[in-house]
């Protein structure tokens, strides 16, 4: 297995036998991603420059919402692309930009504009945007803008 010296701390994700399959799927979604090394127990992969380990640990432990991977998206097209890919084939939508992929891993698909709306200096815009977000599963920027700008 290749040395993991380039990054001091790497998240290790516990899978029930699908570590390589999951790593290949994740790598297909993010530019600049690759499988670094793989063996029957462990796969090391990079997603957009961030190194991860996937462990084929068995059924003893499963993912939960206590940890998630957050993806910063530039626009609605990017939100839609990641959301659709990660909820396909058994993934599930949750609330406020959260979802679980088909492996049970939680993700947050966050348009950068959402952070701007939630930090808007105008309390009315901020509150309207927050209320709109709380009703959404996938964040829809046009709906968020309409809510923020409603008077």
Statement to judge: residues 69 and 130 lie in one domain: yes
Residue 1: pLDDT over 50: no
Q: What is the mean pLDDT of the chain?
A: 95
Other CB atoms closer than 10 Å to residue 108's CB: what's the count? 16
Other CB atoms closer than 10 Å to residue 140's CB: what's the count? 17
Q: What is the pLDDT of residue 4?
A: 45
Residue 13: pLDDT over 50: yes
Domain containing residue 134: 63-151
Q: Domain end: 17, 33, 62, which one?
A: 62
In this prediction, residue 60 has a pLDDT band, given cuts at 50, 70 and 90, of very high
Domain total of the chain: 2
Residue 89 DSSP class: G
Statement to judge: residues 15 and 75 lie in one domain: no
CATH number of the domain to which 24 belongs: 3.10.180.10
Indicate the pTM of the whole model.
Answer: 0.92
Statement to judge: residues 125 and 147 lie in one domain: yes
Residue 128: pLDDT over 70: yes
Statement to judge: residues 67 and 47 lie in one domain: no
In this prediction, residue 7 has a pLDDT band, given cuts at 50, 70 and 90, of confident
With a CB cutoff of 8 Å and minimum separation 6, the contacts of 113 are: 141, 144, 145
Q: CB–CB of 1/44 below 8 Å?
A: yes
Statement to judge: residues 67 and 137 lie in one domain: yes
Statement to judge: residues 50 and 81 lie in one domain: no
């Amino acid at each position: 297995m290749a040395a993991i010296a380039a990054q001091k701390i790497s998240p290790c994700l516990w899978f029930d036998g699908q570590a390589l399959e999951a790593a290949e799927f994740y790598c297909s979604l993010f530019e600049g991603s690759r499988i670094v090394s793989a063996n029957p127990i462990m796969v090391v992969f990079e997603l957009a420059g961030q190194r991860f380990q996937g462990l084929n640990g068995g059924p003893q432990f499963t993912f939960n919402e206590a940890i998630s991977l957050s993806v910063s998206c530039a626009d609605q097209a990017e939100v839609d692309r990641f959301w659709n890919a990660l909820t396909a084939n058994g993934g599930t939508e949750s609330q406020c930009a959260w979802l679980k992929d088909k492996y049970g891993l939680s993700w947050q698909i966050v348009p950068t504009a959402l952070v701007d709306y939630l930090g808007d200096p105008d309390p009315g815009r901020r509150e309207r945007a927050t209320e709109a977000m709380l009703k959404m599963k996938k964040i829809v920027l046009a709906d968020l803008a309409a809510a923020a700008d409603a008077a």
